[in-house]
Amino acid sequence: MKPFKGKFEAPATEGEQNSKGPLMLYLGLSLIVFVPIFKTLTHLPPYVGMMLSLSIVALVAEIISSREFSITGANGKSKEKSHHDSPTFGALSKIEMPSILFFLGILMTVAALESLGLVFTFGKDVLEAIDSNTFVLLLGAGSAVIDNVPLVAASMGMFDMTTVNESGELIYGADSAIWHFIAYAAGTGGSMLIIGSAAGVVAMGMEKISFFWYLKKIGWLALIGYLTGAGVFLFMQQYIF
């Protein structure tokens, strides 16, 4: 289709490529996968595993860069470069802080509402008014406006895994199909608007993509894909599994 046609020219490589680049890439990806494993084994909050992973990456990067710490001589002048010249600190300085603060703020808000019981009360009232599948569809549409990360975090507090029906069976147990539907709806629904995911926000800055261009050219395609996928999921849930 026309919105996807065009030529991409990779930017010219500046300077020498570090041979340790693939090592750092695979190390970072492995430590991201390590976070849920750490959470399962230690039962500590996920951010503890994230900070541990970040510290390991920083430590390995410092070892690879073979940087010596600054040593101050008797005259008070530093003989080596300061820690601000470290490649690790240089990489961390390029982090997009507005996005980090956005996630921090929205996740802290969701956590505060959940601790007060407002998230569970809201979810209970909504589920009494509409069907759970309809609610999840709306949840996916909402992730296009608010990022999918806080919405999924909020949904985890909306559904009580200990709720049982009249037969004594769990309604929303850990193996319930509704969690698969939430994962699909929040992840895919966020693509309907470019601001619905962190990757879209980064793409706006890197490739200078306009919000209205994406809405006009890509948004309707993402909407069709979202509704089609949801229909297939519900069909399989109803008639196959």
Give per-residue pLDDT as tens, 174-227.
667 788 888 899 888 888 888 887 778 778 877 888 889 888 888 899 999 999
Give the angle 135-137-164 at the CA atoms, nearest 5°: 40
Residue 20 clears pLDDT 90, i.e. is over it: no
Per-residue pLDDT, 31: 92
Percent of the chain topping pLDDT 90:
11
Q: Distance (Å, rounded) from C-alpha 87 to C-alpha 102?
A: 26
- Sequence ranges of the domains in the chain: 19-69+80-94, 95-241
Least confident of 80-89, 145-154, 218-227: 80-89
Instruction: Identify the residue whose tokens are 């920083």.
Output: 58
Q: Distance (Å, rounded) from C-alpha 86 to C-alpha 52?
A: 20
pTM of the model: 0.62
The larger pLDDT score, comparing residue 166 to residue 78, is at 166
Residue 121 clears pLDDT 60, i.e. is over it: yes
Instruction: Identify the residue whose tokens are 């001589």.
Output: 73
What is the Cβ-side half-sphere exposure of residue 15, based on CA atoms within 13 angstroms?
3
Confidence of residue 85 (pLDDT cuts 50, 70, 90): low
What is the 8-class DSSP label of residue 219? Answer: I
Report the run of H or E that residue 204 belongs to, with start and end. Answer: helix 198-207
CB 165 within 8 A of CB 173: no
What is the 8-class DSSP label of residue 218? Answer: I
